[in-house]
């Protein structure tokens, strides 16, 4: 195995882990939710390491830069759907899941559009965006597991963390949109304006 290809392999592993996570979660086995949450957590960990390794090893590529957020959105969307279905009696969980999914799609589209207009840096991931992602991944892992481990009820911790992630989702959605607004407005003007 070529070490230069490790970051790309980690990105693809996130896509591969989607069916693994779903099969584990819904399998008629003991501790299925634990195994599903573990598969999701492994995918979440690769999210943190693939970009770091790509930069550190000098193996960043346009394909990797494109696929990394796609893989992230796919695994998060799968987990959000499972969590919304699992906790369908909790309106705030459903609202949080919808808000997070809407923002992820909207900002991904915005970033792609900005990249086509040579302004990708305007909507580069902020530190608050990184906190949002970390809280989102933690909340989803805890809610997927939903049980008690080491004397901690992870499911109960997952609810406030998901609401926190949803609040950060809204804040970063506004921040990125506001940052891109001058470019958006400039693109809507006709030459005679």
Does residue 68 sit within a domain?
yes
Could you give the C-alpha distances from 26 to 3, 80, 86, 100, 148, in angstroms and in order?
34, 15, 11, 23, 19
Mean pLDDT of the chain: 86
pLDDT of residue 39: 92
Does residue 59 sit within a domain?
yes
pTM, two decimals, is 0.84
Does residue 106 sit within a domain?
yes
What domain range includes position 129? 3-188
Does residue 57 sit within a domain?
yes
Does residue 153 sit within a domain?
yes
Residues 142, 157: contact at Cβ < 8 Å?
yes
Does residue 49 sit within a domain?
yes
Residues 5, 58: contact at Cβ < 8 Å?
no
β-pairing verdict for 152-153 and 148-149: antiparallel
Mean local confidence (pLDDT), 168-175: 94
pLDDT of residue 2: 62
Output the domain CATH number for residue 36: 1.20.120.1760
Does residue 193 sit within a domain?
no
Q: Is the pLDDT of residue 69 over 60?
A: yes
Does residue 87 sit within a domain?
yes
Number of domains the chain contains: 1
Give the model confidence (pLDDT) of 124-143 as tens digits: 778 888 899 899 999 999 99
């Amino acid at each position: 195995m070529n070490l230069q290809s490790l970051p790309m392999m980690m990105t693809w592993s996130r896509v591969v882990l989607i069916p693994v996570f779903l099969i584990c979660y819904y399998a008629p086995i003991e501790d299925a939710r634990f195994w599903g949450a573990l598969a999701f957590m492994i995918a979440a960990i690769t999210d943190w390491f693939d970009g770091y390794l790509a930069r550190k090893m000098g193996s960043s590529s346009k394909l990797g830069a494109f696929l990394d957020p796609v893989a992230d959105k796919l695994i998060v969307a799968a987990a959000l759907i499972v969590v919304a279905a699992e906790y369908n009696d909790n309106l705030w969980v459903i609202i949080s899941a919808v808000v997070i999914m809407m923002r992820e799609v909207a900002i991904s589209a915005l970033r792609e559009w900005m990249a086509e207009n040579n302004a990708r840096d305007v909507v580069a991931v902020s530190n608050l965006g990184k906190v949002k992602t970390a809280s989102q991944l933690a909340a989803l892992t805890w809610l997927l597991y939903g049980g008690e481990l080491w004397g901690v009820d992870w499911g109960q911790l997952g609810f406030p963390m998901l609401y926190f992630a949803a609040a950060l989702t809204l804040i970063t959605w506004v921040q990125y949109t506001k940052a891109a607004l001058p470019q958006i407005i400039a693109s809507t003007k006709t030459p005679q304006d």
